[in-house]
Structure 1
Amino acid sequence: MLKIAKYLYHNTWIGKTVIDSVEQIHHYYRSHYLDDATFLKQNFKKRFGRSLDLNNPKTLNEKINWLKLHDRTALHTTCADKFKVRKYVEEAVGSQYLIPLVFQSYHPKDVIASNFPVYPFIMKANHDSSGGIIVRDKAVVNWKKTQKHFKKLLSKNYYYSGKEWQYKNIKPCVIAEKLLVNDADEIPFDYKIHCFHGKVEVIQVDIDRYTNHKRNLYNTDWKLLPFTWSLWNKGKILWDNGRDLEKPKNLNEMISVAEKLSKPFCYARIDVYDFEDTVYFGEVTFHHGSGLETIHPEKYDLELGNLLDLTKIKTKA
C-alpha cells in the first residue's frame, strides 16, 4: 500500500494533491488539537527515535523542549517580535547596534514600491523565522505577488508549527531593513551566539547557505569545537564543518552585546553581524532548531545541557 501511495505521489498530479491535502489536515489537527507536551513528544520521538523526558530533561535538546512549556514571559514575546525587539535592544545596548529600519506596516497592501528606498533592503515578517526577501532593485519586484506573499504569511500563527509560545501573541507585520551588503555585493556572515545564563558558550557560523551550506562552531577563544549541531537526513549530516574562518575583529564586542541582551534569559541565541567594522543586531531566538537538531557526538548534547540550570527559572506559565 505504501509503495502504491509513493508511486501515485511522485507520478500523478491527483495523487500528489490528495496526499498533500491529507498531510495538511493531519498537521493542522496535531498542531491545533494536541496539547503542547504531546505534540513536542511526538516530534522529538520522530526526529531522534527516542522518548522526550520532560520530567527530568538532561540533554540540551530535551531542555530546549522543556523551556517551550515552562519558560514563558512577556519579554520572550517582545524579543521574538522582530519589530518590537528593537526597543529592547536600544535600551539594553544602544541604538547604534540596530540595522536601519526602512519600512513597517501591519497591512500587506502597504507593500508597494513607493514605500521603499532605492537602495538594497530586506523585507520580512516580524513573527516567524522564514527569513526574508532580499531586494537589490525595487524596479524589478513583482509587487502584487509580494503583497500576496505577505498577506498569506501574516495570516499564520507561527506558534502552531513548533509550539514555541513566544510567537503566539505577536501582532504580525511586515518590516524592511537596509541590506548589509558591501561594494563586492557580499552579505556578511551572521554569527549566532548561544548564551547560557547570560554567558556565551557557543558561536555558530553558517557558511555558503545558498550554495554548499556548512556550519562551524567556535568557543569564545575562536577555537573550533569538537562537535556538530545540524539536521540529518537518512543518516547523513546536512551541515558539517566548512572552511576555517578568521576570527572576527570585533569578536569581543559581539560577545559583550550578546551577553547583555541574553542576561534576562536562561538560554537565548543572539544573532549579530560584523559588517565593515561595525556590530549589528540580527534577532533573538529562544529555541534553536526547535530543539530538534542533532548534536554529534551525542555526549556534547548532554554537556551543553549541563550548562543550563532549569531550577533558576522563576517565571513559569
Structure 2
Amino acid sequence: MKNLFYKFYHKTLFGNLIRFLYHLTKDRIWPDKLVVKVDYKRRLGKSLNLSHPVTLNEKINWLKLNNRNPIYTICADKLEVRNYISSKIGEEYLVPLIFSTKDPSEIKLERLPDIPVVVKTNHDSGGVFIIRDKNDIDYTKLQESLQRRLKINYYLKSKEWQYKNIEPKIVVEKLLMDSSGNIPEDYKLHCFNGKLVFTQVDLERHKNHKRNLYDIEWKRIPCRWIYENGDDIPKPLNYAKMKDLAEKIASDFTYVRVDFYIVSGSIFFGELTFNSESGYGKFIPDSYDLYFGKLLNIDMTSKKG
C-alpha cells in the first residue's frame, strides 16, 4: 500500500498536480496543524503523533503548534534578542552591533565601517550576507536581495509562530573571525527544561556539511542527525562556562537551542532556536529520536490533540 501511494503521489500526473497545488497554497490557506502533519510525513516518512508525542521531533512540532508566549517572538528576533541576552547574562557576550535599519538603501559603502561585517535580516532563517571588503560589493544587488528578504514572512513557510509578528529589519554586526581570518565554529547547546542535554557542532557547512553531537561530558553521541559525522572536535576550554550561560538563558523555555561562538577564548552569543530543524530532523539510528524525546518534558495540560 505504501509503495502504491508513493507511485501515485510522485509518479503520476494527478499526483504531481496535487503536490503542486499543495505547495502553492499551503502558506496561506491550509491550517498550521495540517501543514505540519503533511510536511512531517513527507520529510520523515511516518505519521506525526500530536496526541501523545514521544520523540524529539514530535515534541518539537507539538511545541511549534502550541507555544504562543510573546517572549518567543522577542527571542526569535535577531535584533530584539540582544536586549534579552544582555539582561540574562550580560552585554559583554553580544557581537558588536554596527547599526540596524528598515531601509535596504542604507546598506551602502559610506555607512559601513572599515572592518569585515555581517549583514542579516532579523526575522527569518538565513538572510545572511558576509562583507569582508566593503569596496568589493555590488550594493545594488545586495540591496535588492535584502528588499526581497524583508518581504518574507518565515512563519508562512515554516509554521513556526514565533516568526509571525517580527517587524522585518536589517542588522549589521561585526564579523567574528579567528586568528586565521576564518569564521569560527559555533556550538549549539540544546537545553531541555532549562538543562543542557547535548551540544551540536556543524563542520564544513559551506563545503561538505558534517555534524557531531556531544553529551554533557563531551562524549561523542553515536548517531547522525541529518548529516554525516565529521572529525572529532576537542572540548572547548571554556565549555563549562558556555554550559552555565546556556542554562541561564534556557531557564525561561521548555526547549531551546542556544548558539555560541568562541573567539580568542571569548564567548559570543549567536542566536536562539526553538524548533531545531523545524521538527523534521532525521536521526540515524532512529532510536535516538525517541531517546532524546524521553528526556524532554513538555507541558501536556493544554494539549488539544
Match of 1:293 in 2: 281
Match of 1:99 in 2: 95
Letter in 2 for 1:98: L
Mapped to 2, the partners of 1:308 and 1:145 lie a distance apart of 44
Letter in 2 for 1:241: N
Counterpart contact for 1:206–1:216, Cα < 8 Å: yes
How far residue 26 of structure 1 moved from its aligned partner, in angstroms, is 4.2
Match of 1:10 in 2: none
Pick closer, same or farther for the CA change 1:106–1:217 going to 2, 3 Å: same
The answer to whether structure 1 residue 40 and structure 2 residue 29 are counterparts is no
Could you list the structure 1 runs, at least 4 aligned residues long, displaced by more than 2 angstroms after superposition: 1-5, 25-28, 311-316
Match of 1:187 in 2: 183
How far residue 212 of structure 1 moved from its aligned partner, in angstroms, is 1.8
Pick closer, same or farther for the CA change 1:313–1:181 going to 2, 3 Å: farther
Per the normalisation by structure 2, the TM-score is 0.91
Structure 2: tracts of 5 or more residues without a match: 1-7
Mapped to 2, the partners of 1:313 and 1:116 lie a distance apart of 50
Counterpart contact for 2:259–2:271, Cα < 8 Å: yes
Structure 1: tracts of 5 or more residues without a match: 6-18, 231-238
The answer to whether structure 1 residue 271 and structure 2 residue 267 are counterparts is no
Counterpart among 187, 192, 196 of residue 196 in structure 1: 192
SS of the aligned residue for 1:68 comes to helix
The answer to whether structure 1 residue 127 and structure 2 residue 115 are counterparts is no
The answer to whether structure 1 residue 167 and structure 2 residue 153 are counterparts is no
Match of 1:233 in 2: none
Mapped to 1, the partners of 2:301 and 2:275 lie a distance apart of 15
Match of 1:142 in 2: 138
SS of the aligned residue for 1:75 comes to helix
Stretch moving more, 276-285 or 108-117: 108-117
Mapped to 2, the partners of 1:27 and 1:311 lie a distance apart of 32
1:56-89 per-position Cα deviation (integer Å, ceiling 9, x unaligned): 1110101111111111211000000000000000
Mapped to 2, the partners of 1:48 and 1:225 lie a distance apart of 21
Counterpart among 26, 30, 35 of residue 30 in structure 1: 26
Mapped to 2, the partners of 1:46 and 1:315 lie a distance apart of 24
Mapped to 2, the partners of 1:69 and 1:245 lie a distance apart of 35
Q: Give the number of aligned pairs.
A: 293
How far residue 211 of structure 1 moved from its aligned partner, in angstroms, is 1.5
Pick closer, same or farther for the CA change 1:137–1:311 going to 2, 3 Å: same
Counterpart contact for 1:266–1:312, Cα < 8 Å: no
1:164-205 per-position Cα deviation (integer Å, ceiling 9, x unaligned): 000000000000110111342111101011000110011000
How far residue 310 of structure 1 moved from its aligned partner, in angstroms, is 1.5
- What is the alpha-carbon root mean square deviation over aligned residues? 2.2
Counterpart among 108, 113, 118 of residue 112 in structure 1: 108
The answer to whether structure 1 residue 59 and structure 2 residue 55 are counterparts is yes
SS of the aligned residue for 2:291 comes to helix
Mapped to 1, the partners of 2:59 and 2:193 lie a distance apart of 14
Letter in 1 for 2:73: T
Pick closer, same or farther for the CA change 1:314–1:90 going to 2, 3 Å: farther
SS of the aligned residue for 2:28 comes to helix
Mapped to 2, the partners of 1:121 and 1:82 lie a distance apart of 15
Mapped to 1, the partners of 2:12 and 2:279 lie a distance apart of 34
Pick closer, same or farther for the CA change 1:314–1:105 going to 2, 3 Å: farther
Mapped to 2, the partners of 1:152 and 1:248 lie a distance apart of 38
How far residue 162 of structure 1 moved from its aligned partner, in angstroms, is 1.1
Counterpart contact for 1:266–1:313, Cα < 8 Å: no
SS of the aligned residue for 2:27 comes to helix
